[in-house]
Amino acid sequence: MIDLFNEDDNQSFNYYTVKKGDSLWAIAKDNNVSLKLLAALNGINPNDYIYPDQVLIFPNKGYSYYITKEGDTLNLVSDTFQTDNMSIVKQNPTIYLQEGQLIVNKIS
């Protein structure tokens, strides 16, 4: 499960509609995003087929992202972002800390 949406969506993500002939690799390169992050944000494998009119999200500049792993705690996530727990909670109103949840942090 990837919890992609939070109240800050309009700022933390951009959207891209796939066109015929696009590849995930080319979209990642054109938007200066790692292929692995782009695939993870969209809940797909980097080698998966993408199709025309599919809408992908990709990160906006000024934000960092973390996809939780089994056993993660709020303290561990906060340490990863080098910020405090309250900042993470304010930016991510629904935090389950289940494996695969997307956590967003605005870079100061």
For the cut 60, the answer to whether the pLDDT of residue 22 exceeds it is yes
Residue type, 58: F
CATH topology of 9-59 equal to that of 63-106? yes
Question: For residue 3, what pLDDT is reported?
Answer: 41
Tell me the CA distances in angstroms from 12 to 7, 8, 20, 96, 107, one per residue in order: 10, 6, 26, 19, 11
9-59: in CATH 3.10.350.10: yes
Question: For residue 10, what pLDDT is reported?
Answer: 54
CATH homologous superfamily for 63-106?
LysM domain (3.10.350.10)
For the cut 60, the answer to whether the pLDDT of residue 33 exceeds it is yes
**pLDDT tens digit sequence for 52-107:** 999 999 888 899 999 999 999 999 999 999 999 999 999 998 999 999 899 999 98
pTM: 0.74
Domain ranges of the chain: 9-59, 63-106
Question: For residue 7, what pLDDT is reported?
Answer: 42
